[in-house]
């Protein structure tokens, strides 16, 4: 199942989008931009990073690296570095806590490197995000420099040790299985000087599977003595000489539900390594990250916002590499505590989906591959649950058998669910926008036919059965939905789900026409859309407020809890846009003002929907200065590793990317709109991806839009809302040919050829 999507989209994304990005990656402007920002995204610590300040039950708090499948967070003393390691599919069954019963992600173990030298000064730790490396200089009389990184397509973690002072020093390297809950067993061994530590998940009779996570460590460049220390640790001892660097290489294996530890394959891989092979892997890692960085970027004119934007790119690319064995939960591969919040799960009522909101416009759609693949693996169980589990959603649904798919709130990378529904039916439809964006941003009709459309149609099947038609009179009727607007509520017509219903059936109508399928079903889909209830409106009850009406949480007019969940029609559903009825747009802006500004949700609420309130604000044209100033406040309060953390969430904080992208470029009803929500100050974006598979760049000096270029990746027609008050637009092909097109109703359209770039200029 791991590579199901490869033939459908991975080749397209790798060979078209990546090659297009590589074409640009050597341009001076790109290199200058990243060299200018490199130090800003390289946090430094001048005192040791304590474990308590690095490892958490949610986001990584210390220096971190990851390749999608494996993640490591570093902590240190004056003379040691420890990398605590997790693997995305290392999941136990039969775990119970306040969040529910079932599967849970747990850590594998780690590797500690200790220098046997008395203390001194000069400690330094640096997290170089551009090269995806961790650097430590010990505060010892004989200092040691360590540079750690992880291969992008193999589960190998490397640490290179140097002795710059010209003296030899003894080094202890401990490979250990994580200690914690006693239900998890450990095994340690030595095989031809390869240290091995294995951790085993719950193997009680109630567990549906047993998983093994293993760390195998080999020392290259020295002659270690390797021995078992205790039931969880194997130690390698050697001398680091000033003439020769030493490599500590660990292979992380196992995971999954087969119970296999992969030690044989790990040992073979480690034995095959030479210094030349390590150099090759390092070069490949650097090339992968250069390509990832150069896919797209923005310049907001604000160093703090630029830093947070780029840090979010690093977090996403470290957590969601297509190399991964499975899609990740909302903490990526950094499940480094036995009691992770919410089992380290894939939280399906928004939180995990939001971690992927930004990958499409940011020209990195392949980062969502493993997640979408995992969702498809959950479909058979979701079909079964729709038929049998409605009564578990709410007692009033007992006995109802529905078509389509029904997901609970929580799943794990083992492709299993756990826990309850929290009275919500939106958990499966919340993935509809992601499937749609993978289609629309790549213009891949094969993916649409084989993956996106079947999934969206299953969600439509569910809603067809679940919606309740209410006859108002002989000629007027509406389709009502009753569900949880928020966890454990039970609400009539909450906008949070109305938006998902509208999105699902709007996409089914459009995609069924494009694929020329299901024509007989379209009348019902259109009828549902035509007779959806209006979004409920209420007056705010908490002070301060402006007294203006806002969108309510449900038909009863609730305005609590204090977040903007009712604006899901704006984002991710995209059924309420800047092109919608002006009264609805104003209602959405009022709602943002009340929750995010008057009630300080932008900066004071625990998660404000993981920052997606900022995206919602950008999508309805809320005051851009307010958006940026509040976003800057959050960025200034980031953790030392530059992540915005709140004690519960992680990857969804990357929606800072989509916020800024949406302020600079939106595709509304198929029309590109430049800087739709940007203040009067200079800014630029480079190679953002627009729907229709267009790479787009532009800048503004604060008054006029300039340097507009569009590169077509799929040869689709391009439609642009003119950013100028001009009579026509000159479209200049990259071969020098030129055409002048009249602006009609503010819009200009032109055909494109795949691979060609077009520059746009105003003609007055």
Q: Are 429 and 459 in contact (CB under 8 A)?
A: yes
99's tokens: 């969040």
Of 368, 286, 340, the C-alpha closest to 57 is 340
Name 236's bridge partners: 173, 226
Q: Is the peptide bond before 544 cis (omega within 30 degrees of 0)?
A: yes
DSSP letter assigned to residue 119: B
Q: Are 616 and 574 in contact (CB under 8 A)?
A: no
3-state secondary structure 167-202: CCEEEEEEEEECCCCCCCEEEEEEECCEEEEEEECC
Give me the half-sphere count of Cα atoms (radius 13 Å) on the Cβ side of residue 108. Answer: 36
How far apart CA 214 and CA 190 sit, in angstroms, is 13
Give me the half-sphere count of Cα atoms (radius 13 Å) on the Cβ side of residue 19. Answer: 10
Query: Tokens 């055909």 appear where?
Result: 751
Of 99, 105, 58, 64, the C-alpha closest to 646 is 58
* pLDDT tens-place string over residues 41-58: 999 999 999 999 999 999
Cut 0.75: pTM above it: yes
CA 683 remoteness from chain centre: 25
Helices 624-636/303-319 angle, 10° precision = 70
Beginning with the edge strand found earlier in the chain, give each strand of the sheet holding 416-418 in spatial order. 346-347, 410-412, 416-418
- pLDDT lower than 50: segments of the chain: 1-8, 11, 14-26
Q: Is the peptide bond before 576 cis (omega within 30 degrees of 0)?
A: no
Q: Are strands 169-177 and 156-162 parallel, antiparallel or unpaired?
A: unpaired
How far is CA 480 from each of CA 56, 467, 528, 537, rounded to the nearest angstrom? 42, 6, 10, 16
Residues 6+ apart with CB under 8 A from 557: 536, 537, 538
Query: Tokens 């949880």 appear where?
Result: 484
SS3 311: helix
SS3 220: strand
Residue 682, phi then psi, degrees to nearest 5: -65, 145
How far apart CA 652 and CA 551 sit, in angstroms, is 24
Q: What is the torsional sign of CA 722, 723, 725, 726?
A: negative
Of 662, 757, 117, 674, the C-alpha closest to 357 is 662
Q: Is the peptide bond before 580 cis (omega within 30 degrees of 0)?
A: no
How far apart CA 176 and CA 173 sit, in angstroms, is 10
The pLDDT of residue 7: 41
The pLDDT of residue 310: 98
Q: Are 425 and 500 in contact (CB under 8 A)?
A: no
H or E element at residue 469: strand 468-471
SS3 344: helix
274's tokens: 């030479």
Residues 6+ apart with CB under 8 A from 204: 94, 183
How far apart CA 164 and CA 246 sit, in angstroms, is 13
How far apart CA 448 and CA 454 sit, in angstroms, is 8
DSSP letter assigned to residue 16: I
How far is CA 386 from each of CA 244, 390, 393, 412, rounded to the nearest angstrom? 62, 6, 10, 19
SS3 624: helix
Q: Are 631 and 656 in contact (CB under 8 A)?
A: yes
E-strand spans in 296-444?
A: 297-299, 346-347, 410-412, 416-418
Q: Which domains does the chain have, with CATH numbers?
A: 1-37+345-533 (1.50.10.10), 44-299 (2.70.98.50), 536-663 (no CATH), 682-763 (2.60.40.1180)
The pLDDT of residue 2: 36
Query: Tokens 């928004």 appear where?
Result: 350
């Amino acid at each position: 199942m791991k590579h199901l999507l490869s033939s459908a989209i991975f080749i397209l994304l790798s060979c078209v989008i990546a090659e297009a990005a590589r074409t640009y990656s050597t341009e001076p402007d790109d290199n200058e931009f990243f060299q200018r920002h490199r130090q800003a995204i390289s946090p430094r610590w001048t005192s040791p990073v304590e474990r308590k300040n690095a490892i958490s039950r949610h986001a990584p708090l210390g220096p971190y690296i990851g390749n999608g499948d494996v993640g490591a967070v570093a902590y240190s003393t004056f003379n040691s570095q420890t990398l605590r390691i997790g693997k995305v599919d290392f999941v136990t069954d039969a775990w119970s806590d306040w969040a529910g019963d079932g599967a849970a992600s747990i850590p594998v173990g780690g590797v500690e490197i200790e220098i046997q030298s008395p203390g001194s000064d000069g400690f330094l730790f640096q997290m170089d995000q551009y090269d995806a490396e961790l650097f430590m200089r010990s505060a010892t009389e004989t200092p040691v420099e360590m540079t750690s990184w992880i291969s992008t397509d193999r589960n190998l973690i490397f640490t290179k040790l140097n002795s710059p002072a010209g003296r030899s020093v003894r080094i202890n390297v401990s490979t250990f299985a994580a200690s914690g809950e006693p239900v998890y067993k450990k095994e340690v061994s030595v095989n031809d000087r390869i240290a091995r530590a294995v951790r085993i998940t719950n193997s009680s009779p109630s567990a549906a599977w047993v998983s093994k996570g293993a760390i195998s460590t080999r020392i290259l460049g020295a002659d270690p003595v390797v021995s078992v220390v205790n039931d969880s640790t194997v130690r390698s001892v050697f001398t680091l000489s000033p003439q020769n660097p030493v490599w500590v290489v660990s292979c992380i294996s196992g995971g999954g539900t087969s119970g296999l530890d992969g030690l044989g394959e790990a040992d073979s891989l480690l034995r095959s390594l030479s210094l030349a092979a390590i150099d090759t892997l390092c070069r490949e890692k650097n090339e992968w990250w250069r390509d990832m960085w150069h896919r797209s970027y923005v310049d907001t004119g604000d160093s703090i916002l630029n830093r947070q934007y780029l840090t979010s790119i690093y977090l996403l690319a470290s957590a969601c590499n297509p190399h991964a064995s499975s899609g990740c939960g909302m903490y990526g591969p950094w499940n480094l505590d036995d009691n992770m919040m919410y089992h380290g799960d894939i939280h399906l009522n928004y939180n995990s989906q939001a971690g992927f909101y930004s990958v499409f416009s940011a020209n990195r759609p392949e980062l969502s591959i493993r997640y979408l693949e995992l969702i498809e693996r959950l479909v058979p169980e979701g079909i079964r649950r729709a038929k049998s589990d409605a009564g578990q959603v709410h007692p009033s649904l007992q006995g109802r058998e529905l078509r389509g798919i029904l997901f609970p709130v929580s799943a794990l990378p083992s492709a299993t669910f756990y826990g309850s529904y929290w009275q919500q039916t939106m958990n499966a439809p919340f993935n509809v926008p992601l499937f749609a964006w993978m289609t629309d941003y790549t213009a891949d009709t094969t993916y649409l036919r084989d993956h996106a459309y079947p999934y969206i149609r299953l969600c439509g099947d569910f809603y067809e059965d679940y919606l309740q038609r209410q006859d108002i009179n002989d000629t007027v009727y509406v389709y009502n939905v009753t569900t949880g607007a928020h966890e454990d509520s039970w609400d009539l017509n909450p906008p949070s789900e109305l938006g998902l219903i509208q999105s699902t059936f709007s996409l089914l109508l459009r995609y069924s026409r494009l694929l020329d399928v299901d024509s007989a079903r379209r009348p019902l889909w259109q009828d549902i859309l035509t007779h959806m209830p209006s979004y409920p409106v209420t007056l705010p009850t908490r002070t301060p407020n402006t007294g203006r009406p806002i969108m309510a949480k449900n038909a009863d007019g609730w305005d609590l809890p204090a977040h903007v969940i009712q604006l899901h029609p704006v984002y991710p559903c995209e059924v309420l846009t800047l092109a919608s009825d002006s009264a609805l747009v104003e209602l959405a802006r009022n709602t943002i003002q009340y929750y995010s500004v008057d009630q300080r949700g932008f900066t004071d609420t625990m998660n404000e929907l993981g920052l997606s309130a900022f995206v919602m604000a950008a999508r309805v044209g809320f005051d851009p200065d307010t958006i940026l100033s509040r976003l800057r406040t959050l960025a200034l309060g980031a953790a030392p590793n530059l992540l915005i953390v709140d004690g519960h969430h992680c990857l969804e904080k990357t929606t800072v990317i989509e916020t800024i992208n949406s302020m600079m470029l939106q595709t509304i009803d198929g029309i590109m709109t430049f800087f739709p929500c940007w203040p009067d100050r200079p800014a630029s974006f480079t190679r953002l991806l627009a729907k229709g598979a267009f790479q787009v760049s532009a800048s503004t000096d604060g008054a006029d839009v300039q340097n507009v270029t569009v590169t077509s990746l799929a040869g689709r027609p391009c439609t642009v809302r003119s950013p100028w008050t001009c009579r026509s637009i000159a479209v200049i092909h990259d071969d020098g040919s030129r055409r002048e097109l009249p602006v009609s109703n503010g819009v200009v359209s032109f055909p494109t050829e795949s691979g060609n770039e077009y520059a746009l200029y105003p003609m007055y």
